Structure 1
Amino acid sequence: MLNTEKPILGLDIGGTSIKAGVLIGSQLLDIRSVPTPAQMPQEFILETIAEFIQSYLHHDFFAIGIGIPGLIDVENGVVLNLGNIPSFKKVYLKDFIQQKFNRPTFINNDANCFALGEYRFGVAQEFKHVVGITLGTGLGGGIIANSHLYCGHNCAAGEWCSVPYLDGVFEDYCSSKFFITKYGSKAKSLFKKAQKGDQEAIKAYREFGHHLGELVKHILYTMAPEAIVLGGSIRKAFPYFKESMLETVSTFRYPSVSANLKILISNLDETAIHGAVALVDEYQTQANPVNG
């Protein structure tokens, strides 16, 4: 577990909200959020982020870590595109923040931050090779290889969401999109129905588990991790898709790999912020971080 002598500020920037917290010692404190003005011009959004950071200055943090969706030029801290914030195209976010606050700033994809957060603070601390998967409105993936975050070029590693599967891509079947398209209802609503014994909802989650199992097999073929951590809101329905997922994983061609795989459920509420603060240690104090 990461334990720092000086506070670190972590931000999780999304299309709906901007969340932040300060790592003091080994505890994430003063967790707050503000709405993201997602439809506003780039300059307005940047000033909103700066004002939010300004409100944390009394903590005297020495560095800033930021997780944000989309493709990122990690070395230069440039957000290349962000689908749910239309004006965020080729944003020099690192330069903007460092010029404003004169503190080292590190930026990475939010799914990568999820994986790093689980590795440094969560259920995956004992493993060297980990994949983090977020199951929510969309599908996200992050990779820990040889105890370091692996991003690939422009944070494009782990983008299993876009891998072709059946008549679409994995995101169509391993996120809330599956439930909306196939069952006309959101995952959360079907989860509540499943808890009450609704057979149609139980069937929906069993099908979802099968598709997720196929994704797990794909990850095993490409990465062969020791552990896969499931995060995102859909993880709460794990008891309803666990069995069918494991049945599908059991058909993996190399049992010596799949039999030892640990599939874990995140128990951190703010994993992306935990991962954002861990970016500072990953890139500033590690001699040879794996960047791709």
Structure 2
Amino acid sequence: MFCFGVDIGGTTIKLGLFDLQGDVLDKWEIPTRKEDGGKNILPDAARAVLSKMNERSLSKEDVAGIGVGVPGPVKEDGTVETAVNLGWDFMDVQGTMQKETGLPVKVSNDANVAALGEAWVGGAKGCKDVILATLGTGVGGGLITNGKIITGAHGAGGEIGHMHLIDDFPRACNCGNYGCLEQVASATGITYLAEQALAESQEASVLRDRKVSAKAVFDAVKENDALAIEIAERFGKYLGKALAMIAAVTDPEVIVIGGGVSKAGTVLLDFVEKNFQIYAFTSCRKATFALAELGNDAGIFGAAKMALDAYASR
């Protein structure tokens, strides 16, 4: 028995063929065609799955199902109200993929799916209660409780990047609110903190001679640059405090940090975990921290696991 994991992104659709043990037997990607309101995206993904089945001589009886991760809030019935990065307004992802492939389909938000992947075979392997924070251009999140994705009534479970964290913040977030976690903990948020610190201080720093970015900040931290350390401390306070608040609700075994910013490595975890310990409820301080291990493949692994879980429950 086999299953497919599909991770739909704004640039590419990543696909994987898996066995029941979580071994990836094949993985590939196709372009995401967003023109005409993204109407080609799901048919393209379906054709890619059916083509691989034909190539591998797999019948529909050989396939447990397809899991799909989507960049937007996904309701329990597999529908999406909007996915701006794909050009979608309302889209019945589950129904459309089932019709196009004739296979069972399960759909969830891409960050939640990535969290499930990390809990299955990645940085949180073997854990049933997990928080995943993905730090990229924005801040995404995935919450796993007792091995299950928290979806929520409107598909917005795990949207941790839009927690309100700072009063009187001068800039609007992409969501329209002010003072979201994403504005100070994403790659762009860390850049903002660095630019602010450089403008407010006359302190010497290697950052003054470099293009400011999240990577530049943590590279400078590794060089023991004092101003870069101050910036990282501020970032760590914001993210550590936010994770402590989430932990008070979900009580995780492990908190996994992923996304492009996590490439800074364990030095980043040091700033976050230290502040988490300050703000967390006593029992929640037992949570451990880990870096994500699956990288860009977390989505296809988690989507496959979602399909297998749905198959097992039928």
TM-score computed with the length of structure 2 as normaliser: 0.81
Q: TM-score, normalised by structure 1?
A: 0.86
Matched to 1:137, the amino acid is T
Higher CA-based Rg: 2
Q: Is the 8 A contact 2:184 2:193 kept in 1?
A: no
Q: How far is the alpha carbon of 1:171 from its aligned partner?
A: 1.1
SS at match of 2:46: helix
Name the counterpart of 1:274: 301
1:238-253 equivalent positions in 2, closer than 5 A: 238-252=265-279
Q: Structure 1 stretch 190-199 or stretch 140-149: which is displaced more? A: 190-199
Once the 2 structures are TM-superposed, how far is the Cα of residue 200 of structure 1 from its aligned partner? 4.6
Q: How many residues are matched? A: 279
Supply the RMSD in Å over aligned alpha carbons.
2.2
> Hey, what does 1:117 align to over in structure 2?
117
Deviation of the 1:189 alpha carbon: 4.5
Q: Cα–Cα, structure 1 residues 17 and 204, in superposed 2: closer, same or farther, change >3 Å?
A: farther
| Identity within the alignment, % | 29
The correspondence of residues 1-292 of structure 1 with structure 2, limited to 5 A, is 6-26=1-21, 27-57=23-53, 58-59=55-56, 60=58, 62=63, 63-75=65-77, 77-86=78-87, 88-166=88-166, 167=169, 168-183=179-194, 185-195=212-222, 200-252=227-279, 254-258=281-285, 260-269=286-295, 270-286=297-313
More helix by share: 2
Unpaired segments of 5 or more residues in structure 1? Answer: 1-5, 288-292
* Structure 1 residue 13: Cα displacement: 0.4
In structure 2, relative to structure 1, the CA distance for the partners of 1:272 and 1:251 (3 Å cut) is same
Q: Structure 1, residues 101-139: CA drift from partner, whole Å, max 9, x if none?
A: 111111111111111111221232332321122111111
Work out whether residues 97 and 105 of structure 1, in 8 Å CA contact, stay in contact via their aligned partners in 2. yes
Aligned to 2:247, the other structure's residue is in SS state helix
Letter in 1 for 2:114: F
Matches of 1:120 and 1:138 in 2, distance apart?
A: 24
Find the residue that maps to 1:151 and give its secondary structure: coil
SS in 1 for 2:40: helix
Unpaired segments of 5 or more residues in structure 2? 170-178, 196-211
Residues 218-227 or 202-211, more deviating: 202-211
Tell me: CA distance 1:222–1:197, structure 2 relative to 1, closer, same or farther (3 Å): same
Q: For 2:117 and 2:140, how far apart are their aligned partners in 1?
A: 14
Q: Which has the higher strand share?
A: 1
**1:81 Cα deviation after fit:** 1.0
Deviations 1:222-280 (A, max 9, x none): 2221211111111121333333222312222532321x111111111311110000111
CA distance in 1, matches of 2:9, 2:101: 21
Paired amino acid for 1:130: V
